[in-house]
């Protein structure tokens, strides 16, 4: 992730970011909102990048205004840098899916127990992924995230420095699973959940950016009669399944409907 070093007006086909980045023609960028609208995101491709000035030309005009300046606003706002974030979505290793009726692919990790000829065999699922791009995955109107862990409670897994973007459903989910590190990833354009933990144990979520999480717009979802659950990060909040040893640190949510972070609270009066 980098930040805008100058404002990027609506209709512009160039923007300014940090110098010395590994950007090239064809790389895909996500520009996050700096306004009150969670929908004010831009999804563009790099045409050229000047390594000395940080000038990026893109393949299409920006649909929204994005604010930036040369220096961080952190010193003025208790460490909060309010310049617009720019996500690099491209990686050399890509996992994408054929779009068939909005049912994209999904990557699933879980433990299994098999019985064959009276012999029981247990297998522990583990996924270690670094610097991978996952595109056009997740399944519409379901909890089948682009990348999901279900009953993977034995071995260790880690998802780091990767991008998950442009899916029709959830981005990443950890359900009834344990011993997982999710760090320094970009999740961009999912519906209506970005990153979900439920019934999780020993999971660390650190340094991620979740953005562009919007409402569903399908026949199965009637906005006049259904209040859809939505969040950038849903941390053990969907039901009463207990979680333990969960660490959520230094993450960013931007351009998310309903709330960036949703989690459980203690009953009133239980704690002083």
At 175-219, the pLDDT tens digits run: 999 999 999 999 999 999 999 999 999 999 999 999 999 888 776
At 88-134, the pLDDT tens digits run: 999 999 999 876 666 778 999 999 988 777 788 889 999 999 999 99
Rg (CA), the chain: 20
The per-residue pLDDT for 49 is 97
Whole-model pTM?
A: 0.90
The per-residue pLDDT for 266 is 66
Looking at 2.60.120, 1.20.1070, 2.40.30, 2.60.40, the CATH number of the domain 1-90 comes to: 2.40.30
- The span from the CA of 271 to the CA of 243, in Å, is 19
Handedness of CA 69, 42, 129, 114 (dihedral sign): positive
Confidence of residue 240 (pLDDT cuts 50, 70, 90): confident
Answer with the residue of higher pLDDT: 139 or 163. Answer: 163
Question: Can you give the residue ranges of every domain in the chain?
Answer: 1-90, 93-263
């Amino acid at each position: 992730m980098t930040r805008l070093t100058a404002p990027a007006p609506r209709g512009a086909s160039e923007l300014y970011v940090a110098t010395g980045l590994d950007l090239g023609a064809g790389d895909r960028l996500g520009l996050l909102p700096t306004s009150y609208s969670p929908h004010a995101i831009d999804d563009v491709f790099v045409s050229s990048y000047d390594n000395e000035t940080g000038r990026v030309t893109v393949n299409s005009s920006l649909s929204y205004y994005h604010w930036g300046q040369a220096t961080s606003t952190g010193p003025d706002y208790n460490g909060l840098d309010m310049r617009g974030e720019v996500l690099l979505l491209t990686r050399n290793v890509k996992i994408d899916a054929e779009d068939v009726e909005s049912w994209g692919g999904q990557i699933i990790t879980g433990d299994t127990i098999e019985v064959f000829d009276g012999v029981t065999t247990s297998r522990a699922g583990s996924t270690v992924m670094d610097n991978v791009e996952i595109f056009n995955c997740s399944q519409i109107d379901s909890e089948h995230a682009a990348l999901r862990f279900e009953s993977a409670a034995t071995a260790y897994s880690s998802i780091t420095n990767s991008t998950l973007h442009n899916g029709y459903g959830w981005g990443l989910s950890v359900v009834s699973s344990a011993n997982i590190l999710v760090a320094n990833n970009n999740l961009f354009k999912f519906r209506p959940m970005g990153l979900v933990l439920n019934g999780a144990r020993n999971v660390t979520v650190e340094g991620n950016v979740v953005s562009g999480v919007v409402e569903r717009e399908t026949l199965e979802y009637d906005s006049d009669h259904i209040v859809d659950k939505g969040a950038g990060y849903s941390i053990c909040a969907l039901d009463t399944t207990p979680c333990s040893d969960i660490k959520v640190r230094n993450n960013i949510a931007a351009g998310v409907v309903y709330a960036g972070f949703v989690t459980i609270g203690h009953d009133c009066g239980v704690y002083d």
